[in-house]
Amino acid sequence: MRKDLWRDVFGRWLALAFRFYLGGVFVYASVYKIGYAAEFAETVASYQIVPALAVNAVALVLPWLELICGAMLVAGVRVRTVSAILGALLVVFCIAVTVNLLRETPIDCGCFHTLDERMTWMTLVRDLTWLGMSIHVFFFDSPLALERRYQSTLKEIET
């Protein structure tokens, strides 16, 4: 009984909290980037990873991907797929941050604003934390999902 309770709290409800947090973070992060695409393109370029030809394209698509995935995560639609996508993005971010930290490139994180705090190892830790959250969300089912409405409706019909 207690085991089930803990499993519930640390599984489903924690996953719900992570979902809302991560989704909110990504939606928030995407808004500015969408509005100021040129500046975000500079940020992307400052990482010195994306080829010059693709920098603008990445700067245009990435914020929208974050927005869509964040919104879907908060709403609880295709949670697994979305958390996987976000996890993959975070993995890429972590690699990019690590590479640039090792290069000692003097750049800002650019995660939320163009003029952000300088990128440090804490940035990597933060990204790894978010990655862990996305993995948790991937593996644990959570309540209050829009899609679960189907399930509950189905159960209502069957009973």
Partner 1 sequence: MLTELERKRLSLRVLLETAQELSGILQPRKIMETFLLTAMGPIGAMRGVAVLARPAGCEGMVLSRGLPPAEAEALEQRLPDICDAYFPYRDLDGDFPSSKIRVIRRDQAGSDSLLPRGMDILLCFNVDESHCGLLALGPLLSADGTGAGGELDADSSTLLHSLLHLLIGALRGALAVSNIRQLSVDLGRKNDRLTEALATSQAAQRGLDRRVHQLSAINELAAEMAHVHDVQGILDGFLLTVLGAFSVNCGMVLVLDRLAHSVDLALRGAPDTGLSGYAAADVLVYKAFLASGARSVAPLTVDSVENPAVALAGCGLPFEGVCAMYFSLDRDVQGVLVLGETISGEALESEDVQMVQAQVGTLMGYVLGARHLATITALNEGLKSQNEELTRTVNELTEARQTIDLLERAGERVRSFLHAEGLRSKRFSWLDCGVILVAAMLLGFLFNLASPNGVPLVPEHLKRPPSQTVTAQKARELQQSDGALIVDARPQAFFDQRRVRGAVNLTPALFDMVYLMRFAQVPLSTPLIVYGGNISRRWDEEVATKLTAREHERVLVLEDGLSSWEARGYPVEP
**Which residues are near partner 1 by CB under 8 A?**
34-38, 41-42, 44-53, 55-57, 59-65, 67-69, 72, 77-82, 84-85, 104-107, 138, 141, 145, 147-148, 150-151, 153-154, 157-158
What would the two tokens of residue 8 be? 């519930």
Name the residue nearer to partner 1 (CB basis): 7 or 80. Answer: 80
Q: Give me the least distance between CB of 16 and partner 1, in Å please.
A: 15
Q: Give me the least distance between CB of 72 and partner 1, in Å please.
A: 8
Q: Give me the least distance between CB of 132 and partner 1, in Å please.
A: 18
Residue 127 vs residues 36, 54, 88, 103, 115: alpha-carbon distances, Å: 23, 23, 11, 18, 18
What would the two tokens of residue 97 be? 């941050």
79-103 helix and 121-139 helix, angle to the nearest 10 degrees:
160
Q: Give me the least distance between CB of 62 and partner 1, in Å please.
A: 8
Residue 119's region, left for phi above 0, alpha for psi from -120 to 50, else beta, is: beta
